[in-house]
Structure formats: structure tokens, C-alpha cells
Amino acid sequence: MTTTNAATYPKTAALMRRGAAFLGTEHAILCGAMSWVSERNLVSAISNAGGFGVIACGAMTPDLLDAEIAATKALTDKPFGVNLITMHPALFDLIAVCARHGVGHVVLAGGIPPKGSVEAIKDFGAKVLVFAPTLALAKKLLRSGADALVIEGSEAGGHIGPVSTSVLAQEFLPALAEDHIVFVAGGIGRGEMIASYLEMGASGVQLGTRFACATESIAHPAFKQAFFRGNARDAVASVQVDPRLPVIPVRALRNKGTEEFTAKQVEVAKLLDEGKLDMAQAQLEIEHFWAGALRRAVIEGDVERGSVMAGQSVGMVTKEEPVADIMAQLMSECEAALSRG
Ligand SMILES: Cc1cc2nc3c(=O)[nH]c(=O)nc-3n(C[C@H](O)[C@H](O)[C@H](O)COP(=O)(O)O)c2cc1C
């Protein structure tokens, strides 16, 4: 079950037509960038299977990104994109690296794109994809040059907003999907779900959790095992204990690290109350708690104290499978759903 030909799935292909044309792919299915996971091997496998792989630049330096793009190009001649975090201090140098490689699509994540960044990407002919938490912001970004939108609900793995995918889809798709390219992300584990978002007008979808433990993923075997064992209810959002302390919500598998994080917040809040830490020190203690934690889980396999970022669809990830098989499953489930009745 590894066909990558869109013609095998005619109803799905018809609804994915705009998204696939925008991405230059067979199927309008993106594998969302996952730091440490979305490197040359997974990204090229997704693109070779007819989807759209996205390199997670994360905290990489421009030189590292340069090498990663070159290595990915050596493994696929299909389109793939690069995800850049907007607050990266070298954002414009990273954009220049993408320009040198003629990257076709850049995804700007992690906040509102800084002044000039969308223009800098469009200047070398690439398309810009952005995330928008509210409809008003989405409209503003599209007016100011973004080419496509990803709406991502709180079911997703990694950094999340407060609103579920189903509600975001109802808010954004009727308002924007006719005139704009909108991809839906968060909580998608099966093709039936893809069918329903396509029927609501989405141009395509983005998945992370479902692809994170594919055969081609370099994630540590212990990270993959944690995914295969995990159920939806194990993928929990980080809890903020004290409103004074900054906690960016992240969805990850519950483990010793998530418990210790709660305890750490209580301890830091107490030190703050007692005047033993000032606010800046207290906030730094919290911000530093998870530093390097995703790498520890993905690369070193420390699934107890690392951050095992995973979405609620993790319960649908039960074994290691080649990307092409996962893609074919999603497409045939979607096609079957669209063919009913
Ligand atoms: C392990 C992991 C790491 C992630 N890292 C990033 C990241 O670096 N940048 C980003 O924009 N999104 C990141 N995400 C979000 C994914 O790109 C994708 O949007 C999300 O996984 C989709 O929802 P799903 O997990 O329910 O499929 C990450 C997700 C996971 C599971």
C-alpha cells in the first residue's frame, strides 16, 4: 500500500487540488516541522511519498541550516519547505540561506512575522506560510503578503494555543477558504478527519504526531516506544501554577519531567513570595527548566526527563511504519470517507 499517485484517490485529489498545486506535490499533506525530528531523512521521505516535508530549523545556525537543506536536496528532487522560528536572532540570515538554495516555501512559526521578513522571503520568489491564532490576525497577515495559512488547534503536539482544531476550522474556513489557501493542523490521525476538513473548504492538512515515529524518522527508539505506548489522555498540555511565572503551553507525554516542572513552579513561586528571588530571576528559572529537553527526548532517548512532545492523536500511532505506508493509509481512508453515501 505505497502508491503516491494522486489519481488513485480521485475524490481526495479533487478537494486537494488547490493545496497540491500550491505546494507542488501529489497530495496536500504537510508533515509539520518538528524540531530534531524533521531533518533530512524524514523530510525527504515525506516529499518522496507525495507529501510536503518541512525542515525544522529550530535553533540551528545559518551554517547548519545550509548543510541540512543541501543534504535534503541530495535525498529528494521533490519540493520541501523550511520552518523558521520568528524570534530566531539570525532570522534574516536564515532567510538568506533559503534564498541561496532556492527554497520554494518558508513557514514562519512561533509568533507574528517581524517587519520585512515576509517581504524578504517573497523577494526571492518563495511562498510564505504563516500561523494565525485569530481570524483578525489571519486576515491582516494575508493582506500583508502571506500566501497561505496554517490553523493549528490545541490537540497538536508541541507549542499550542488554547482553541481546539474543530472550533478553529469552523471560525476560519467559512471566512477564508474560498479565497485563500488554508491548511488545518492538530489532532489529525486518520484520513476520515482529513476528508471532513477538506469538505469544509481546507486546501489540505498538516500532521506531525502521526509521522514522528515513521521508519525514516531518526527519533531515538525509546522516544518511538513512548509514542507507541501513549494514549490520547497521556499527551497533556503543560500546566501554569502561578500567573506570575511564564509557561508557554506545550503538549507532551506526561512523565517525570512534567511532574517536576509543576513542583519547580511551586518552589520558585515560594522563593518569589519570600523575596529570595526577584521576578526576572524567577522567570528565568522557569524558562530554563525545559532548555534542551526536546533534544534529550528525541536524540538521547531520555523519555523520563526530556520533553516527549506529542499530540492527542498519539494513541493512533501504534507501530513503526514507512512514511509511504502512512501516506497511503491516510489517502485511502480519506477517499473511502468521501466515497460513502
Ligand atoms: C515532537 C514535535 C516537535 C514539534 N516541533 C515544532 C517546531 O519546531 N516548529 C513548529 O512550528 N511546530 C512544531 N511542532 C508542531 C508540528 O509542526 C505540527 O504542526 C503538529 O504536530 C500538528 O499536530 P499533530 O501533532 O496533532 O499532528 C512539533 C510537534 C511535535 C509532535
Q: What is the tens place of the pLDDT at every residue in 158-170?
A: 999 999 999 999 9
In whole angstroms, what is the distance from residue 107 CA to residue 24 CA?
15
Residue among 30, 193, 209, 327 to mutate when testing ligand 1 (max atoms within 8 A of CB): 209
Maximum alpha-carbon separation in the chain: 67
pTM: 0.96
Kindly give the distance from the C-alpha atom of residue 136 to the centroid of ligand 1, in angstroms, as a whole number.
Answer: 23
Tell me which residues have their CB closer than 6 angstroms to ligand 1. Answer: 32-35, 37, 56, 58, 83, 109, 152, 155-158, 185-188, 206-210, 212, 309-311, 313
May I ask the CATH architecture of the domain 6-219+316-339?
Alpha-Beta Barrel (3.20)
pLDDT number for residue 291: 83
E strand or H helix at 143? helix 135-143
pLDDT number for residue 174: 98
Locate CATH 3.20.20.70 in the chain.
6-219+316-339
Query: Does the pLDDT of residue 223 top 80, yes or no?
Result: yes
Kindly give the distance from the C-alpha atom of residue 187 to the centroid of ligand 1, in angstroms, as a whole number.
Answer: 11
pLDDT number for residue 3: 62
In whole angstroms, what is the distance from residue 81 CA to residue 107 CA?
7
Residue of the CA atom closest to atom 15 of ligand 1? 158
What is the DSSP pairing of strand 29-31 with strand 52-56?
A: parallel
> What mean pLDDT value characterizes the chain?
96
Residue among 29, 31, 34 to mutate when testing ligand 1 (max atoms within 8 A of CB): 34
Query: Does the pLDDT of residue 4 top 90, yes or no?
Result: no
Kindly give the distance from the C-alpha atom of residue 288 to the centroid of ligand 1, in angstroms, as a whole number.
Answer: 20
E strand or H helix at 45? helix 40-48
In whole angstroms, what is the distance from residue 256 CA to residue 241 CA?
17
- pLDDT-derived band at 156 (thresholds 50, 70, 90) equals very high
